[in-house]
Chain A
Amino acid sequence: MDAAERDLLAETLRKTMTAATGQALDASLTDLGWAELLAEQPDIAVPLTFRLLGETGAHAPLLNDVLLNAAGRPVGGTLPLPYTGGTWVVWERDDSAAGTTLDAELPLHTVPAGPPVPLAAGRVALGWWLVGTGRAMLALARQHAVDRVQFGRPLASFQAVRHRLAETFVALDGAEVTLVAATDELGALLAKAAAGQAALTAARHCQQVLGGVGFTAEHDLHRHVRRAMVLDGLLGSARELTREAGALLRAGGSAPRLVHL
């Protein structure tokens, strides 16, 4: 797939995700050939699709497919997914299960523990989703800072505001390169931790920059904040995974260098 084809695919996906979400989006993506794209070119399908889910604020039960595909099983179903704190959840394919999690749009509910799942593939996919969600929050906060005038000046002219947004930008860019570099179990673990941390950093700073309006239900920010929090816990939170990385270091006696010139 060359750059032009990738751009076209991204445009198509973005339009699809803007038009539908949840069960309807799942159906649209199936019609577009999601299963074939995932099977044949997961390195393109996963970053693009999951980042766009984050940026558009749409959702679909595609994490199931990534894990099923990595396990060599047919896609289209569901499987129990480990969640932070030792609980397990299922991400249903229809919308009727929605309404109980902090992000009430997502059809997640808790289930008894299941068999092990291929974590690395799922963590990278969720990492891209979290970075996309972070970028969506940053875009909202940036626009608000440019548009909103107080004391006769745009908020964006105040250094305290600028530095919060810059901090968010750094966190998201940092997380993104760890995702690109995630080619093994440890790389995926670190990338999910970086992405979760970046999305939560974005949530904190963007909420503050958006002030009162960002606290209202009519503004989109809270949807992204909720999503970031729920996705962070899936397949291991940033906090848990960071601790796990530290334990691996102590057990191994040194710090693995994962990328090389």
Chain B
Amino acid sequence: MTRESDKQPGGYGPPGDAPRLIGQGSVWIMVAAPTIWALHFVASYTFAATWCAKAGPSLAEPRWIIAMMGVICVALIGWLALLAVRRYGGVFVIFEEITESSERARDRFIGHVSLLLCILSAVAIVFTALPGFFFSTC
């Protein structure tokens, strides 16, 4: 089976066929999921704090907005995890060491790390949003 990540580095085909930001050896996928978590974290707390300061003691509406943001972010991270598996050949558990110096091995490593970071970020988003389910007032 040939994978997209089996391609060796080099020409990307005709002009205009620029390398993808996520795929083909790019490392950006590794920071993407933690970045989504960080943005969700800052957005949730800023939003809740602003709401509590300006709108009043009820958290009924913000908790749903925070939950919706959480769902969207987890979905985005799920999509990244899918890319980590499909484009990079990332797996959850590596049973043999990746020691080979090849594009394919590097991609598998990036895919593996990205997949684990996706899981960690998704759990962190759930933990961030959790208080919203328990507290209905500021």
Is chain B found bound to chain A in the same assembly?
Answer: no
Which residues on A are within 8 Å of B, measured CB to CB? none
Which residues on B are within 8 Å of A, measured CB to CB? none
